[in-house]
Amino acid sequence: MRKHIVAGNWKMNNGLIQTETLISELKQQTKTSDAEVMIAPTFTNLWHAFESTRQDDIEVIAQNMHFAEHGAYTGEISAGMLKSIGIKTVILGHSERRAYFNETDESLAKKVNTALAHNMRVIFCFGEELSDRKAGNEETVVENQIKNALFHLEASAFKHIVLAYEPVWAIGTGETASPEQAQDMHAFIRKTLKSKYGETVANDMTILYGGSVKPGNAKEIFSKPDVDGGLIGGAALNAEDFYAIVNAF
Ligand code: PEP
C-alpha cells in the first residue's frame, strides 16, 4: 500500500530560534488528511527538532548524509550519526546537491546503499533540467537517474525508498509542472519500476512531486492518481502554508 507523504525541505534556512518558532507554529496546525508529515531542518537543529516533536505526528528527517561509515571526511555527517539521534529517513540526491556539490548517480548509489544498510528510509530525488525537457529528453534523463542509482537493489529494498520527482526548472522558481506533466512523469516512473521489478513494487512505490508546490496548486497536483505527495521547499518555511499543502489530500 502506498502512502501519502508531505515532506518539508528547509534547506539552509532557520537557526535554532527560528527552528523552535517554526516547530511550535507547526504544532498549532491541525492535520485533516492522512498524509505523513516530515520536516528536514539543517543538521545543527536536527536533535532539537527531533526532541521537540517526539510527541507529535511529525517525523524529523535529514537533508543529506555521506556514504562512508566514518573517517576523514571533514564537514560530513554519517548515517550512524543520524541514527544515533533518532533520525530514520534521509533525503538523497536533491538537485541542489547534484548541482552544487557534484553528487552523481554513482555517489548517490553508494549513499543509498549505506542508508539502507542502516535501516534508514530514503527519499530519493531526481528530475530533468529545463534543457532536457525542451529537447524532449525528460523521460530518458529520469529513467537513467533512477536506473543508475537504484537498479542494483533487490526488489525488497524498495519498501524503504520513496521517490521524489523534482524537475529542476520548477524548484524554487515559482514555475510548477502542470498537474498533467507531473502525472505523465509519475506514470512513466511507475512503468520504469514495473519493467524491472514487477507490478507490486511499482504499485506500492510512493512517488512525491516537488517543484514550487504551494497551497494554491497542491490540491490539483495531488489529485492526480500517480502523485502520492510532495517534497516542499519554500512553502515549508511557513506553518500555515505547509499544513494547507498537507491537508490538500
Ligand atoms: C525542493 O527544494 O525540493 C523544492 C521542491 O523547493 P520549492 O518547493 O521551493 O520549489
Average pLDDT over residues 128-153: 96
Catalytic positions are 94, 166
What is the secondary structure of 176-226 as a DSSP string? ---HHHHHHHHHHHHHHHHHHH-HHHHHH--EEEESS--HHHHHHHHTSTT
**End-to-end Cα distance, the chain:** 16
Using a CB cutoff of 8 Å and minimum separation of 24, what contacts does 69-77 make? 69/114, 77/43
Overall average pLDDT of the 79-105 stretch? 97
**How much distance in Å is there from the Cα of 198 to the middle of ligand 1?**
30
Mean pLDDT confidence for 147-161: 98
Q: What is the largest CA-CA distance in the chain?
A: 48
Give residue 183's pLDDT. 98
**Which residue has the least CA distance to atom 7 on ligand 1?**
233
pLDDT in tens, 192-225: 999 999 999 999 999 999 999 999 999 999 999 9
Q: Which atom of ligand 1 is nearest to the CA of 166?
A: 5
CA of 97 to the centre of ligand 1 (A): 13
Question: Residue 45 — φ and ψ, nearest 5°?
Answer: -110, 10
pLDDT of 249: 93
The residue nearest atom 1 of ligand 1, judged by CA position, is: 233
pTM score of the predicted model: 0.97
Q: Assign 105 a pLDDT band (cuts: 50, 70, 90).
A: very high
E-strand ranges in 41-172 read 59-60, 89-92, 121-126, 161-165
* DSSP line for 47-74: HHHHHHTTTTT-EE-BS---SSSSSS-T
d(CA 230, CA 207): 8
Angle between helices 215-222 and 179-197 (to 10 degrees): 40
8 A C-beta contact, residue 51 and residue 87: no
Please give the share of the chain, as a percent, with pLDDT higher than 90: 96
* 150 has a pLDDT exceeding 80: yes
Q: 91 is written with which cell numbers? A: 533525503
Provide the pLDDT for residue 174.
Answer: 79
Unique residue bearing C-alpha cell 560530513: 76
The DSSP letter of residue 28 is T
Average pLDDT, rounded, for the chain: 97
Q: Pairing state of beta strands 59-60 and 89-92? A: unpaired
pLDDT reported for residue 132: 95
Q: For 36-72, write each residue's pLDDT tens digit.
A: 999 999 999 999 999 999 999 999 999 999 999 999 9
Atom of ligand 1 nearest to the CA of 125: 3
Report the range of poorest mean pLDDT among 7-11, 81-85, 170-174, 195-199.
170-174
Per-residue pLDDT band for 130 (boundaries 50, 70, 90) equals: very high
- Whether residue 237 contacts residue 14, with contact meaning beta carbons closer than 8 Å, is answered with yes
Closest C-alpha residue for ligand 1 atom 2? 233
* Span from the CA of 92 to the centroid of ligand 1 (angstroms): 14
Whether 1 shows a pLDDT value over 80: the answer reads no
Please list every protein residue whose CB sits less than 6 Å from any atom of ligand 1: 9, 166, 171-172, 210-213, 231-235
Interval between CA 10 and ligand 1 midpoint (Å): 9
Residue 171 corresponds to which amino acid? I
Q: Which residues contact 67 (CB under 8 A, 6 or more apart)?
A: 107, 110, 111, 113, 114
Residue 107 pLDDT > 90, yes or no? yes
Kindly indicate the confidence band of residue 175, based on its pLDDT and cuts at 50, 70 and 90: confident
Give the pLDDT of residue 172: 79
Closest atom of ligand 1 to 212 CA is: 10
* % of the chain with per-residue pLDDT over 70: 100
